[in-house]
């Protein structure tokens, strides 16, 4: 498995973390796309990994559509598998992770590969919706934790414990995974800057932060609903970009 030739498309925050993790785990044959017009260089890879932003997918798809001979693993949020498969004309498996790869959640498939990257046991799910739920509840967690630590100092820890219980109920994420993410947030010396950095315009994290700003005592269900509403908006925008 370590000899698998991997093509990585998307070299932002997550893409860089993926590359580092692959190297850390002994995957030496990793090709990194150099961007627009260069994605065709990935066609000979045994496994192509997508870590681009949702609205960048259409451009990638136009370059490599119908040309892939490899499997595709997508870490891109808010883009249903059926839309990706149609755009790429290739089989796709969706997965999501926290930035430290504490625990990966994925559709069933690529078990050995994903397990090798996940610090804690891989969570395999049959329902693709849980991949997007992971984005909302775990992918956005650093921003939500930073907001609580800045704006709700006295009640932050109690709120966070309730939120962690909510996440575990929805996804079954290991408790130590959530507390490790919290530990890094507590050690963050500039949480206000972290909020700005992770809440990218139009992104899922931004929607949760906006909900908290609008109503600081938002229920967990309200926060979750805000994430899903933004996810649906992104899905609609991605579908339109594929048709453009």
pLDDT attached to residue 208:
97
pLDDT attached to residue 43:
82
The H or E element spanning position 177 is: helix 175-187
- Positive or negative torsion for Cα 127, 130, 131, 132: positive
Question: Whole-number mean pLDDT of the chain?
Answer: 94
Average pLDDT of the segment spanning 148-170: 96
Whether 36 shows a pLDDT value over 80: the answer reads no
In angstroms, the CA 44 to CA 96 distance is 24
User: Helix crossing, 57-64 with 220-243: angle to 10°?
Assistant: 40
pLDDT higher for 23 or 38?
23
In DSSP notation, 203-226 reads SHHHHHHHHHHH-TT--HHHHHHH
So where are the chain's domains?
6-127, 134-236
pLDDT tens column, 199-220 = 989 999 999 999 999 999 999 9
In angstroms, the CA 157 to CA 124 distance is 30
pLDDT tens column, 134-151 = 999 999 999 999 999 999
pLDDT higher for 3 or 108?
108
Encoded tokens for 116: 């090798």
Looking at domain 6-127, its CATH class is alpha beta
Q: How confident is the model at residue 3 (pLDDT cuts 50, 70, 90)?
A: confident
In angstroms, the CA 70 to CA 237 distance is 27
Whether 69 shows a pLDDT value over 90: the answer reads no
pLDDT attached to residue 1:
64
Average pLDDT of the segment spanning 107-125: 96
């Amino acid at each position: 498995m370590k000899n698998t030739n991997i093509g990585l498309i998307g070299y932002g925050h997550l893409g860089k973390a993926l590359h580092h993790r692959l190297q850390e785990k002994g995957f030496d044959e990793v090709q990194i796309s150099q961007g627009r017009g260069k994605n065709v260089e990935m066609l000979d890879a045994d496994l192509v990994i997508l870590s681009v932003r949702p609205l960048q997918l259409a451009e990638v798809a136009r370059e490599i559509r119908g040309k892939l001979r490899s499997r595709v693993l997508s870490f891109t949020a808010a883009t249903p598998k059926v839309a990706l498969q149609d755009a790429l004309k290739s089989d796709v498996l969706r997965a999501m992770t926290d930035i430290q790869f504490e625990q990966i959640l994925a559709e069933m498939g690529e078990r050995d590969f994903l397990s090798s990257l996940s610090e804690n046991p891989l969570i395999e799910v049959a329902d693709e919706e849980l991949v997007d739920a992971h984005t909302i509840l775990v992918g956005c967690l650093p921003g939500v934790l930073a907001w609580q630590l800045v704006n709700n100092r006295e009640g932050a820890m109690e709120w966070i414990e309730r939120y962690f219980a909510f996440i575990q109920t929805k996804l079954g994420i290991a408790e130590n995974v959530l507390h490790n993410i919290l530990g890094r947030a507590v050690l963050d010396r500039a949480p206000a800057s972290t909020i700005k950095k992770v809440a990218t315009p139009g992104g899922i994290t931004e929607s949760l932060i906006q909900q908290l700003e609008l109503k600081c005592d938002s229920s967990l269900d309200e926060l979750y609903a805000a994430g899903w509403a933004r996810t649906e908006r992104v899905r609609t925008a991605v579908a339109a970009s594929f048709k453009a």
